[in-house]
Amino acid sequence: MKEVVRYSEADPQAREQAIANARALNLGRFTEPAIRRLVSKMPNRDFSQTAWNLLNAVSKPVEKKLAFAN
C-alpha cells in the first residue's frame, strides 16, 4: 500500500522508487492478485486506479543500461 501512495505522488523520482520497490518484492505472477486483494479492501477509486497504474509500470520490461569501457 505504501508503494501505491508513493507512486501517486507527482514526483518522477518517487514513482521510479515505488516501481523499483514493488519489483524488489519479487511477487512475479502474484503481483496482480496482490493488487486485486489490496484494491478490494480500499473503496477509493483514485487509489484503485493508481494501484493498477503501478501494476502496469511494474509489469513493463526493465530497460538495461549498457556500460561501455573506454
Distance CA 44, CA 5 (A): 12
Express each pLDDT in 23-65 by its tens digit: 999 998 998 999 899 889 887 899 999 999 999 999 888 776 6
49 lies in some domain: yes
69 belongs to a structural domain: no
In a domain, 25, yes or no: yes
Three-class DSSP labels, the chain: CHHHHHHHCCCHHHHHHHHHHHHHCCCHHHHHHHHHHHHHHCCCHHHHHHHHHHHHHHHCCCCCCCCCCC
The domain tally of the chain equals 1
In a domain, 65, yes or no: no
Domain that holds residue 10: 2-59
| Residue 43 pLDDT | 78
User: Would 66 be classed as within a structural domain?
Assistant: no
